[in-house]
Homo-oligomer: A and B are copies of this chain.
């Protein structure tokens, strides 16, 4: 029982800090996503490509989580983002307190979008609210068509799901209908965006992202002019 209580207390404490992060980001008019996917599904490549598409039009910040190395931070910084790297050591996910400290190192008022690239892991990050506006789940066709069914918690928690590496579909065994059927059974409403980061067909992703950012800006302005 004491073990269960400790876990419950940790999650409650996490949620309280996440709520503070969320308020802070909303006050600054920043739209924030938590990007969750397995190691090598293409999260960092997606961020690089997203930066190249959007960094002339808006300011983007990134918090990059990894057990070790600052390789992701270096790659993303080279594309013009303001990056804070969090090395978690043996930690399998980011938590709200780590994000709170990372936010201290970012000038939020200058940002339009903050992307939190979570530690490569389809399981543990799902349960930890970080203060994001949207959870983005990412799979790739190389991982096999059973991954939606095998990771129901992510599929149910996600606001949008990305299916990457469609350029490799012809080289791997991946039954698209099976994947989509499993996904729809778990979360009938979730939006699926299929893309190939290396081929650069990111239009639907960019469109989804910019519409959310504009909505966040409008809300922020609306609140600001309310009495």
In the complex, the answer to whether A121 meets B92 with C-beta atoms within 8 Å is yes
Contact of A121 among B3, B10, B122, B167 (CB under 8 A): B122
In the complex, the answer to whether A120 meets B122 with C-beta atoms within 8 Å is yes
> What CA separation (Å) do A90 and B150 show in the bound complex?
11
CB contact under 8 A between A144 and B40, given known A150-B68, A150-B69, A171-B171: yes
> What CA separation (Å) do A159 and B88 show in the bound complex?
24
Is A39 close to B, CB under 8 A? yes
List chain B residues, Cβ under 8 A from A150: 39, 66-69, 71, 120
Contacting residues of chain A (163-177) with chain B, CB-CB under 8 angstroms: 165, 167-168, 171-173
Is A200 close to B, CB under 8 A? no
Is A149 close to B, CB under 8 A? yes
In the complex, the answer to whether A69 meets B149 with C-beta atoms within 8 Å is yes
List chain B residues, Cβ under 8 A from A6: 2-3, 6
Copies in the complex: 2
> What CA separation (Å) do A140 and B167 show in the bound complex?
17
* Shortest Cβ distance from A66 into B: residue: B150
> What CA separation (Å) do A126 and B67 show in the bound complex?
13
> What CA separation (Å) do A156 and B83 show in the bound complex?
29
List chain B residues, Cβ under 8 A from A124: 92, 121, 123-124
> What CA separation (Å) do A198 and B140 show in the bound complex?
18
Contact of A123 among B67, B153, B165, B172 (CB under 8 A): B67
Question: What are 26 inter-chain pairs, A to B, with CB distance below 8 A?
Answer: A3-B6, A6-B6, A38-B38, A38-B40, A38-B120, A39-B143, A39-B147, A39-B150, A40-B143, A67-B123, A67-B150, A67-B151, A68-B150, A69-B149, A71-B149, A90-B123, A92-B92, A92-B121, A92-B123, A92-B124, A121-B124, A123-B124, A142-B142, A168-B168, A171-B171, A173-B198
Give residues in A with beta carbon < 8 Å to B: 2-3, 6, 10, 38-40, 66-69, 71, 90, 92, 119-124, 126-127, 140, 142-144, 146-147, 149-153, 165, 167-168, 171-173, 198
